[in-house]
A and B are shown apart, each in its own frame.
Chain A
Amino acid sequence: MEEGRPGGIIVSILRLVGAVAIPIVGFLILWATFDFLRDADANRFLVVGVAIVVGVGGVFFLYWGMNRVVDFLSPRYREGVRPYVFVGPALVILAVFLIYPVLNTILVSFKDNRSESFVGLDNFRFVFTDPGMLRAIRNTFGWIVIVPLVGVSIGLAFATLADRLRRGEAIAKSMIFLPMAISFAGASITWRLIYNFRPQGFGSNIGLLNGVMLGLGQDPVRWLDFKPWNNLMLMVIMIWMQTGFAMVVLSAAIKSIPDEILEAARIDGASELQVFRRIIVPSILPTIAVVTTYMVINAMKVFDIVFVMGSPETRGTEVIAERMIDWFFINNHDGRGAAIAVILFIAIIPVMIVNIRRFREEEAIR
């Protein structure tokens, strides 16, 4: 676009300046402010207050200022530079916090435990031979199949059923959605209470699941040590937390199906099950795909649940992201941690391609 014109280089330079100026100046202001506050051992309210004023007001003011600077440019360059002032800061931050780490991790994955000298493919050999890693790969595979499958199924069923309620639909839906607002740390306490086990003679069993077992006249079970089903026990927690998301999005899609189509089918004598299978499911198939993709990515990256519920190695509940943190922070082997991260990233790439392809189709429709 600009190569043919004189001053193409100037425009490029101006664009670069426009893109990096806001993040750098903004960062320096924040840093200077908080360097001062840190020394003063400031109280939290003050820090939060200043942060919001500087963070929000400051960010906005910077954009405004840069926009004014662009106005002073000669009209020839002006509209060529302005978009970069708007987009640039986001791109710079993404480059520092996401793109650079990905490249850096790939580099480190070929290095040794202190990321000093290159060791070739040793770390990757480790990833595919270590028994703990192999279990982690197997378990993660279970997570990405079972969690989306069960979550989307229950979400779809519930969305369809709740759509028929005469009243109370909103309340019923928000009850399913509620666990989304809870942290993994909070959820782990919640579910430890459910799976709680006490051996004979060490107090009564206060865990709900073992309470049910006792009520049925069975012996209490050590749920979280019960291989390999303990993996399933952990998956239940994620299903509990994420079904609400699937349900809400699917419910919105179901409501966007025109009533006339459904009524016409019913008048023609279709049963409710047929309406569901032949009309509802096909019309919301794209949404089902979106939700499933989202849940697959989340299941692939699952870490917190396994980590907070404890002792994945002795219980055989390792997953890939948990192994990565374990090798980075507990075993302090940077190379192996990075290699696991790279494998995880490569595994997600196909999902990413699907994501982009879908986005392009949407753009084509617009």
Chain B
Amino acid sequence: MSVAEPVAPPSAPAAPRRAPDEARGGGWFVRIAVLVIVILWLIPTVGVLITSFRPEALVNSTGWWTALAHPFRAAEWTFENYRLALDAGGLGNAFLNSLAVALPATVIPIAIAAFAAYAFSWMDFRGRYVMFIGVVALLVVPLQMALIPILRLYNNGATVGRLIVFPDLDLVGTFLGVWLAHTGFGLPLAVYLLRNYIGSLPSSIIESARIDGADHFTIFWRLIIPLSVPALAAFAIFQFLWVWNDLLVAYIFLGGTQQNRVLTIALANLVGSRGENWQLLTAAAFISMALPLVVFFALQKYFVRGLTAGAVKG
């Protein structure tokens, strides 16, 4: 975000939105209060970061904050923990599994939700309002409630009498099973956010396209999708972070085996097996945070815009 806003030369403040003047009071108070909260919020993450670069003996004998006293002493720092976490902790394979779960589980729901959101906004059909309300209502179904029935569905299928409604496809332990589950759980929010955004596009654009003879599919593909990139990106980030950080769904549908487990499961296992190996745990934790943090900082402008488009109605 800071990149997008060029820093103005100090002599000419770049017309701040609300010209702050010291006379309004609180110049110093505001700055100090903001700084205190920011520091409080950063301490936990900084602690992990510093610990992950300290050698084992030091981690166990002194608190991480003591490293701040002499930050330039080479003996205080090491990369060994990261090497150990990637090899011994098996985090390399887990990282790939997390990617294999998270990317498709992000794009599939977006594709399906975008079509539905368009129909809810711009197509005329009976019951569309009721259907949409139904989707909004599903936002509150606790995810945990759905896990067991779906697990059974995956294991045994479902029949009504002798009619097979959902065949037994042996989906447990497959990536496909996890993608579908994440798609189902992510859809209500996706439809809701995208419908809010797509529905607020000016109707004049769509009407003039229709007068020019474009059908719904063309309007959707050529007009709506390009215009909705901010909302699509926002939901993509949201869903990606959620899937990447999820432990429960992956654990239940993919399992905790060495071959299949995702990063969060590997991390939880490390906590269980090496709960006091702080140098290893913190390095592992940081490996798991790395990609979400990069995604978050690279795309946070979209993220914030999309979230606020969904939640703040002007």
Contact = CB atoms under 8 A, between A and B. Distances in A.
B285 interface: yes
Given A51-B179, A93-B183, A87 B166 contact: no
A158 interface: yes
Nearest to A250: B312
B41 A240 contact: yes
B304 interface: yes
A173 B1 CA distance: 10
A185 B281 CA distance: 11
Given A63-B115, A97-B184, A83 B293 contact: no
Contact of A102 (B145, B169, B200): B145
A92 to B, nearest CB: 10
A94, A162, A191, A204 — which one has the most chain B CB atoms within 10 A of its CB? A94
A348 B107 contact: no
Interface in B52-97: 59-65, 96-97
Interface string A234-273: 0000001001010011001101100100100010000010
Nearest to A80: B125
Contact of A56 (B33, B64, B111): B111
Interface string B117-130: 01110011110100
Contact of B146 (A97, A189, A203): A97
Interface residues of A, number: 128
Contacts of A304: 247-248
B162 interface: no
Contact of B312 (A91, A177, A287): A287
B123 A163 contact: no
A52 B103 CA distance: 7
Instruction: Report the interface size class on chain B.
Output: 35 or more
Given A166-B13, A182-B292, A297-B140, A174 B104 contact: no
Interface stretch (A129-137, A144-152, A222-230, A352-360): A352-360
A122 B192 CA distance: 38
B282 A193 contact: yes
Interface string A75-114: 0000110111011011101101111111011001000000
Contacts of A98: 138, 141, 146, 184-185, 188
A186 B289 contact: yes
B292 A189 contact: no
B interface secondary structure, majority: helix
B271 A189 contact: yes
Interface in B3-43: 5, 7-8, 13, 16-18, 20, 24-26, 30-31, 33-34, 37-38, 41-43
B206 interface: no
A interface secondary structure, majority: helix
A168 to B, nearest CB: 8
A101 B146 contact: yes
Contact of B51 (A83, A193, A253, A287): A193
A41 B54 CA distance: 39
Contacts of B30: 161, 164-165
A137 to B, nearest CB: 15
B264 A185 contact: yes
Nearest to A350: B140
Given A52-B107, A55-B179, A185 B144 contact: no
B112 interface: yes
Nearest to A187: B44
B176 A266 contact: no
Given A86-B116, A97-B146, A165-B31, A240 B267 contact: no
A16 interface: no
A102 B138 CA distance: 10
Contacts of B25: 272
B180 interface: yes
B47 A252 contact: no
A176 B104 contact: no
Contact of B289 (A84, A182, A205, A294): A182
Nearest to B18: A259
A47 interface: yes
A21 interface: no
A102 B152 CA distance: 13
A334 B34 contact: no
Contact of A184 (B43, B135, B188, B245): B245
Interface in A277-305: 286-287, 290-291, 294, 297, 300-301, 303-304
Contacts of A192: 271, 275
Contacts of A171: 1-2
B295 A48 contact: no
Q: Which 6 pairs show the lowest CB-CB distances between chains A and B? A: A97-B184, A183-B245, A86-B119, A101-B146, A90-B116, A101-B149
29 contacts: A34-B175, A48-B103, A55-B111, A79-B124, A82-B123, A84-B125, A86-B123, A87-B116, A90-B115, A93-B112, A96-B166, A98-B146, A101-B145, A166-B20, A170-B2, A178-B296, A182-B45, A183-B264, A190-B45, A193-B282, A194-B44, A204-B62, A249-B311, A266-B24, A286-B313, A304-B247, A308-B268, A321-B142, A345-B145
Given A34-B174, A338-B148, 14 more contacts: A51-B179, A63-B217, A83-B119, A84-B125, A90-B113, A174-B297, A175-B41, A181-B245, A183-B264, A186-B245, A186-B264, A206-B62, A253-B308, A287-B311
